[in-house]
């Protein structure tokens, strides 16, 4: 009896060179391999996910299956109640002698792979290391891994050295600096109109998926109008478009926000990177090559590379370092429920209205809107971290637990005691006004700290500082915020806190 191998590929592991498929191909002839992809109803309905995300996943999985079939592999796409049921169904039909898979990027699925799957199937299971990230999950960088609080900048510099990215050959960064943050904080000028993000006309298979997702009636937003890349070829085309049309201006305006322009000069490649259609090092090398060719400035190249080689790798590493406890961290004791307007955008705050509606309608907003509009508001108002985390997982096309938990609970809400980020990222309305056009035409006045027209960000910000003054004073990176309290006399402090309390009572 010949040996046959089942290769289980998860929907967010659509790699051109999948390690489990490579291992199987080295072990047995191609006709003794059967690839299985499972569309799990339980996983799909775990939350009310963004319908465009569901359309992306299902369409990309089915296109991936067709590409593998064109390469001579036998492929089964199984719709089942759960992963286990789909894999057992496959095993009953095809009788593999063993199963190969790659470790999931998320905690619960990996635990299922490593602790449950072999008993469920009654056959040997090999779980290979995940290759979608550049930093190993345990002790990737000896220089920093022993620290209790690992600073992202230290991690990033070590990654640059380790992979020889934007380095001068003598251990120094190209351009003389490790980062160019100060050059990358410009608001978008009125006269600049960023080029549009390329869309991809859905083929028959994708149109079929869109109809299925809409008919199921599950999730937020709508799959109608779906035009995301669903194949590696399309994702590479999206990468090329970014390199040619937006990368040069990405750096200066990466923190800018606009009511008229959702994507500005951002790449919007994270949905493809997070499901394996693109890989991190190919993005890093492509951007570095553009800089070395003189096509883009150093601040834009470094700014993008820091997002991929620095922050993305860092949050994945922190996820595995701090889970499962990180998912339930709540050091500020936030208990307020998520307001209803997070599900419809019906709020008088112009910035929140734009960002929330954009997220629900398109599944995308860029990182500053996520951090300094959504998360800052939730931290200042004391929204329960798990509810905020779940909203992010629900709303965005690029949202997966490994990236959302460290970014939202760690960085955005600082609910982990500063393990991921060293300070709370909070600001008054002045920041939103400086970096966006959201305050123009808003019913609230971004300059007023108190009073009926005062922007809630202002009195909430100052009330938060007053409420948590002792804890913030103990953090050296919060020093500038606390020093500003000297401008508030006792009377104004009372008014700020009273207005914040009244607002939070109405919010509930």
104, 65: one domain: yes
Could you tell me which residue, 27 or 475, shows the higher pLDDT? 27
| Confidence check: pLDDT of 76 > 60 | yes
Point out the domain boundary residue: 321, 351, 385. Answer: 321
Task: Please count the CA atoms within 13 angstroms of the CA of 52 that sit on its side-chain side.
Answer: 23
| Confidence check: pLDDT of 144 > 60 | no
353, 433: one domain: yes
Residue 334, in any domain of the structure: no
Alpha-carbon distance of 89 to 114, in angstroms, equals 19
CA distances to 54, 65, 241 from 41, in Å? 11, 19, 35
283, 410: one domain: no
pLDDT of residue 73: 96
* Model pLDDT for residues 273-325, shown as the tens digit of each residue: 999 999 999 999 999 999 999 999 999 999 999 999 999 999 999 999 999 99
Beta strands in 418-491 (DSSP E): none
How many domains does one find in the chain?
A: 3
Could you tell me which residue, 399 or 3, shows the higher pLDDT? 399
CATH of the domain at 46: 3.40.50.620
Q: Record the tokens describing residue 224, joined without a space.
A: 């109608």
158, 284: one domain: yes
Residue 253, in any domain of the structure: yes
Point out the domain boundary residue: 293, 321, 349. Answer: 321
154, 294: one domain: yes
Report, as an integer, the average pLDDT of 13-41: 96
For the chain, give the percent of residues with pLDDT over 90.
90
361, 469: one domain: yes
SS3 154: helix
pLDDT of residue 138: 63
Closest C-alpha to 260, from 363, 357, 372, 354: 354
Give the dihedral sign, CA 458/463/466/467. Answer: negative
Residue 96, in any domain of the structure: yes
pLDDT of residue 1: 41
Q: How far is CA 436 from the centre of its chain?
A: 22
Could you tell me which residue, 140 or 52, shows the higher pLDDT? 52
Residue 238, in any domain of the structure: no
Q: CB of 212 within 8 A of CB of 58?
A: yes
263, 291: one domain: yes
* Model pLDDT for residues 363-372, shown as the tens digit of each residue: 999 999 999 9
Closest C-alpha to 137, from 325, 402, 412, 401: 402
The per-residue pLDDT of the chain, averaged, comes to 94
| Confidence check: pLDDT of 142 > 80 | no
Give the dihedral sign, CA 193/300/309/141. Answer: negative
Residue 360, in any domain of the structure: yes
| Confidence check: pLDDT of 254 > 90 | yes
Residue 72: partners with Cβ closer than 8 Å, 6 or more residues away: 30, 31
Closest C-alpha to 17, from 353, 288, 278: 278
* Model pLDDT for residues 189-224, shown as the tens digit of each residue: 999 999 999 999 999 999 999 999 999 999 999 999
Point out the domain boundary residue: 105, 128, 151. Answer: 128
Residue 439, in any domain of the structure: yes
35, 161: one domain: no
Q: What is the largest CA-CA distance in the chain?
A: 86
111, 167: one domain: no
315, 348: one domain: no
276, 159: one domain: yes
pLDDT of residue 483: 83
User: Would you place residue 2 in the very low, low, confident or very high pLDDT band (cuts 50, 70, 90)?
Assistant: low
CATH of the domain at 159: 1.25.40.80
pTM of the model: 0.95
381, 501: one domain: yes
Report, as an integer, the average pLDDT of 458-485: 89
Closest C-alpha to 10, from 69, 70, 77: 77
CATH of the domain at 459: 1.10.579.10
Alpha-carbon distance of 14 to 350, in angstroms, equals 38
Crossing angle for the helix pair 232-245 and 280-292, to the nearest 10 degrees: 30
Residue 204, in any domain of the structure: no
User: Would you place residue 486 in the very low, low, confident or very high pLDDT band (cuts 50, 70, 90)?
Assistant: confident
Residue 116, in any domain of the structure: yes
Q: Record the tokens describing residue 429, joined without a space.
A: 């309305």
Domain span at residue 414 reads 340-507
């Amino acid at each position: 009896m010949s040996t046959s191998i089942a290769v289980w590929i998860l929907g967010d592991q659509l790699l051109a060179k999948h390690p489990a498929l490579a291992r199987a191909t080295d072990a047995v002839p191609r006709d003794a391999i059967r690839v299985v992809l499972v569309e799990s109803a339980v996983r799909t309905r775990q939350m009310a996910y963004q319908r465009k995300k569901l359309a992306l996943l299902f369409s990309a999985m089915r296109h991936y299956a067709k590409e593998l079939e064109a390469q001579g592999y036998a492929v089964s796409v199984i719709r089942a109640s759960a992963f286990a049921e789909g894999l057992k169904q496959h095993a009953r039909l095809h009788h593999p002698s063993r199963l190969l898979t790659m470790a999931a990027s998320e905690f619960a699925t990996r635990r299922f792979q490593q602790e449950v799957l072999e008993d469920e199937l009654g056959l040997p299971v090999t779980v290979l290391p995940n290759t979608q990230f550049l930093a190993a999950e345990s002790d990737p960088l000896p220089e920093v891994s022993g620290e209790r609080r690992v600073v992202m900048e230290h991690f990033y510099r070590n990654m640059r050295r380790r992979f020889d990215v934007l380095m001068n050959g003598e251990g120094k960064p190209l351009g003389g600096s490790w980062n160019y943050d100060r050059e990358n904080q410009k608001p978008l000028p009125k006269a600049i109109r960023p080029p549009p993000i390329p869309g991809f006309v859905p083929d028959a298979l994708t149109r079929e998926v869109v109809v299925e997702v809409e008919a199921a009636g599950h999730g937020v937003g709508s799959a109608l109008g779906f035009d995301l890349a669903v194949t590696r070829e399309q994702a590479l085309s999206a990468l090329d478009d970014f390199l040619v049309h937006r990368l040069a201006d990405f750096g200066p305006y990466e923190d800018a926000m606009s009511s008229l322009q959702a994507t500005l000069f951002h790449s919007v490649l994270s949905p493809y990177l997070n499901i394996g259609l693109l890989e991190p090092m190919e993005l890093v090398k492509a951007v570095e090559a553009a800089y070395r060719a003189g096509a883009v400035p150093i601040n834009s190249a470094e700014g993008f590379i820091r997002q991929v080689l620095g922050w993305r790798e860092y949050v994945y590493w922190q996820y595995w370092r701090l889970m499962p406890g990180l998912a339930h961290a709540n050091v500020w004791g936030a208990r307020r429920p998520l307001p209803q307007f997070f599900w419809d955008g019906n709020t008088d705050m112009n910035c929140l209205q734009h960002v929330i509606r954009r997220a629900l309608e398109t599944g995308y907003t860029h990182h500053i809107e996520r951090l300094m509009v959504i998360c800052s508001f939730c931290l200042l108002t004391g929204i329960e971290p798990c509810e905020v985390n779940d909203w992010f997982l629900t709303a965005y096309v690029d949202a997966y637990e490994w990236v959302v938990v460290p970014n939202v609970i760690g960085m955005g809400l600082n609910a982990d005691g500063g393990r991921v980020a060293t300070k709370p990222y909070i600001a008054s309305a002045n920041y939103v006004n400086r970096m966006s056009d959201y305050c123009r035409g808003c019913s609230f006045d971004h300059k007023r700290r108190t009073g009926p027209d005062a922007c809630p960000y202002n009195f909430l910000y100052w009330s938060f500082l007053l409420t948590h003054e002792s804890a913030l004073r103990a953090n050296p990176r919060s020093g500038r915020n606390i020093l500003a309290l000297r401008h508030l006399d006792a009377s104004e402090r009372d008014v700020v806190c009273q207005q914040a309390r009244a607002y939070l009572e109405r919010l509930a």
